[in-house]
């Protein structure tokens, strides 16, 4: 998640735009908030692409396909204007981690997690195909892992009127897609099988898949299910509904965990939710004001406060040397008594950013940062607190925490006594037998804006 850039929209369709979630070849996706406080993901077509009629037609079909597929396993569309001057679509924002990122960061998913993933994606494809839509690009990057289950996203290729040859992602495309033949619902099943193989083994899925081992040998049923999905003949592949029935009949070895994902993945999802609750702030103030303030600071260092007056935005200049006041020339005024020194206001109190860790511990390593100035500690005893002062004229404070620990801990951040973040690690609800002995990793961050000092009108 990145702060907004200068030319990014600040509102669309009644949604306040808060931050950038990502950018691709065709569109930018923003984090937004509705008037009622609902977080949404707003996809906006690039301006140069929006000027092409065929691209606009494609986006109209994409909105229709996304709306038709929206449901439990695909974020629903909550608003759209594909024909507007700025074409956009808003879907429900879901705190999540893409499947490919989870595997790259934390390793293959355990068998029970892959089975839950398979069941959720099979349900998603049942709904998608029932709506008359073929996704055509089922792959790890288009699968979001959430605390409640997987979500299938990005119906851009599904919306294509006449998909070009090789429309899809190498390594996850069906043989018929590679051959340039029409891709029906069975093609999505093949891609689902490749996606499941990536999730549990990271092997045999093409160039996009890092090296790894075979699927869990103790779960023969899962291994067979993946192989059946990836049969060369589309007619021999099970339908999504049949996949769901097979997974329901055979729950697999072991007892399914209360939380369907490993603790580090759930912690990453929790961190994403915290980041969305405190999105990074865009730079404030007009470009002209920022330029003047920066120039004023440079002049003050080299030429004294008198020259600063030349940079005032009201256009007034300092008096010329010949017209300078007696005080400015260092002489005594006519009264013979020196004029009193002008009173200066004391500097405003700085803002206090406080970090606090409580719980069992121990904490092996802790890195905390305010305004991107990190400090690293090792073997930290709990409870632990640290206070950092930030000049109020800064206008905001960015904070972050990154730690490795054992046991259960709670980490909090307060700004001037107001709590802006409170999270637990490992995530609540994960039995100790499932999450293992640790160590666990946790990271979180955000940015808080605060009022300007008295007398700063922000002009």
What confidence tens digit (pLDDT) does each residue in 236-272 have? 999 999 999 999 887 666 545 567 999 999 999 999 8
User: How many CB atoms neighbour CB 72 within 10 A?
Assistant: 12
pLDDT for the residue numbered 206: 37
| Per-residue pLDDT tens over the stretch 282-304 | 655 444 333 333 333 333 334 33
User: Poorest-confidence range of 11-15, 55-59, 203-207, 420-424?
Assistant: 203-207
- pTM score, two decimals? 0.59
Structure tokens at 313: 């935005």
Per-residue pLDDT for 306 more than 50? Answer: no
- Angstrom distance (rounded) from CA 156 to CA 61: 8
Identified catalytic residue from 83, 137, 216, 416 = 137
Q: For the chain, what is the radius of gyration of the CA atoms?
A: 29
In three-state secondary structure terms, 323 is helix
81 burial level (CB within 10 Å; 0-12, 13-18, 19+): middle
Confidence class of residue 116 from pLDDT cuts 50, 70 and 90? very high
Mapped to the 3 state alphabet, what secondary structure does 396-420 carry?
EEEEEEEEEECCCEEEEEEECCEEE
Q: Give mean pLDDT, residues 73-98.
A: 92
Is 137 a residue of the active site? yes
**Percentage of the chain modeled with pLDDT above 70:** 74
Which helix or strand (DSSP H or E) is residue 375 part of? strand 373-380
pLDDT for the residue numbered 296: 33
Instruction: Give the residue among 6, 45, 48 at the shortest CA–CA distance from 23.
Output: 45
Who wins on pLDDT, 315 or 413? 413
In three-state secondary structure terms, 23 is strand
Q: Taken in order 14, 18, 22, 26, is the CA torsion positive or negative? A: positive
10-19, 71-80, 152-161, 322-331: range with highest mean pLDDT: 10-19
Q: Give mean pLDDT, residues 51-71.
A: 87
Instruction: Give the residue among 380, 398, 385 at the shortest CA–CA distance from 445.
Output: 398
pLDDT for the residue numbered 428: 62
Dihedral Cα 291, 294, 298, 300, nearest 10 deg: 110
- Angstrom distance (rounded) from CA 90 to CA 337: 71
Per-residue pLDDT for 400 more than 50? Answer: yes
pLDDT for the residue numbered 347: 67
Complete edge-to-edge strand list for the sheet that includes strand 143-146 = 97-98, 143-146, 149-152
Confidence class of residue 44 from pLDDT cuts 50, 70 and 90? very high
Instruction: Kindly give, in sequence order, each residue whose CB lies less than 8 Å from that of residue 14, ignoring residues fewer than 6 positions away.
Output: 34, 35, 79
Per-residue pLDDT for 11 more than 50? Answer: yes
Per-residue pLDDT for 189 more than 90? Answer: yes
pLDDT for the residue numbered 430: 52
User: Poorest-confidence range of 6-10, 329-333, 389-393?
Assistant: 329-333
Which helix or strand (DSSP H or E) is residue 171 part of? none
**Percentage of the chain modeled with pLDDT above 90:** 34
pLDDT for the residue numbered 1: 84
Per-residue pLDDT for 69 more than 60? Answer: yes
Q: Taken in order 126, 260, 142, 247, is the CA torsion positive or negative? A: negative
pLDDT for the residue numbered 420: 81
User: Poorest-confidence range of 335-339, 388-392, 412-416?
Assistant: 335-339
The beta strands (E) that lie in 328-372 are given as 351-359, 363-370
Mean pLDDT, the chain, whole residue set: 78
Complete edge-to-edge strand list for the sheet that includes strand 363-370 = 373-380, 363-370, 396-405, 440-449
54-58, 162-166, 230-234: range with highest mean pLDDT: 230-234
User: Poorest-confidence range of 7-21, 274-288, 415-429?
Assistant: 274-288
Q: Give mean pLDDT, residues 88-115.
A: 93
CA 266, 198, 23: angle at the middle one, nearest 5? 65
pLDDT for the residue numbered 118: 96
| Per-residue pLDDT tens over the stretch 348-383 | 788 899 999 988 878 988 989 898 888 889 888 888
Complete edge-to-edge strand list for the sheet that includes strand 384-390 = 384-390, 351-359, 409-415, 418-425
Q: Give mean pLDDT, residues 388-415.
A: 86
Q: Give mean pLDDT, residues 338-344.
A: 54
| Per-residue pLDDT tens over the stretch 210-244 | 333 344 545 788 999 999 999 999 999 999 999 99
């Amino acid at each position: 998640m990145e702060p907004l850039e200068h030319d990014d929209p600040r509102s669309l369709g009644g949604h306040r735009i808060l931050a950038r979630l990502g950018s691709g070849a065709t569109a930018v996706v923003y984090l937004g908030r509705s008037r009622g406080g609902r977080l949404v993901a707003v996809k906006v077509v690039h301006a140069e692409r929006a000027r092409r009629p065929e691209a606009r037609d494609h986006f109209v079909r994409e909105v229709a396909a996304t709306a038709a597929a929206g449901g439990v396993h695909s974020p629903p569309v909550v608003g759209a204007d594909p024909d507007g001057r700025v074409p956009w679509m808003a879907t429900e924002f879901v705190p999540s981690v893409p499947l490919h990122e989870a595997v790259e960061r934390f390793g293959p998913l355990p068998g029970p997690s892959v089975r839950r993933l398979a069941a959720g994606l099979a349900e998603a494809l049942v709904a998608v195909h029932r709506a008359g839509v073929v996704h055509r690009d089922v792959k790890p990057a288009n699968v979001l892992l959430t605390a409640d289950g997987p979500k299938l996203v990005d119906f851009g290729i599904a919306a294509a009127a006449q998909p070009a040859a090789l429309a899809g992602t190498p390594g996850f495309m069906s043989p018929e897609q590679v051959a340039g033949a029409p891709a029906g619902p069975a093609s999505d099943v093949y891609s689902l099988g490749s996606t499941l193989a990536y999730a549990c083994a990271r092997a045999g899925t093409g160039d996009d898949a890092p090296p790894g081992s075979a699927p869990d040998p103790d779960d023969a049923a899962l291994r067979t299910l993946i192989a059946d999905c990836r049969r060369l003949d589309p007619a021999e592949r099970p339908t999504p509904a049949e996949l769901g029935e097979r997974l329901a009949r055979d729950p697999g070895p072991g007892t399914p965990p209360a939380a369907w994902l490993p603790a580090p993945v759930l912690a990453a999802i929790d961190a994403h939710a915290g980041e969305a609750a405190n999105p990074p702030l865009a730079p404030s103030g007009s470009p002209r004001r920022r330029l003047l303030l920066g120039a004023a600071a440079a002049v003050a260092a080299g030429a004294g406060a008198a020259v600063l007056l030349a940079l005032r935005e009201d256009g007034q200049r300092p008096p010329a040397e010949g017209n300078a006041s007696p005080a400015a020339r260092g002489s005594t005024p006519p009264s013979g008594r020196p004029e009193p020194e002008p009173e200066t206001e004391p500097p405003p109190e700085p803002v206090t950013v406080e970090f606090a860790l409580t719980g069992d511990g121990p904490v092996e390593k802790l890195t905390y940062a305010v305004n991107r100035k990190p400090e690293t500690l090792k073997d930290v005893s709990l409870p632990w607190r640290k206070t950092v002062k930030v000049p109020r004229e800064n206008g905001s404070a960015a904070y972050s925490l990154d730690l490795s620990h054992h046991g259960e801990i709670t980490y909090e951040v307060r700004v001037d006594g107001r709590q802006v973040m409170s999270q637990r690690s490992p995530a609540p609800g994960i039995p100790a037998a499932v999450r293992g002995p640790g160590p666990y990793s946790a990271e979180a961050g955000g940015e808080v804006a605060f009022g300007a000092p008295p007398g700063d009108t922000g002009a």
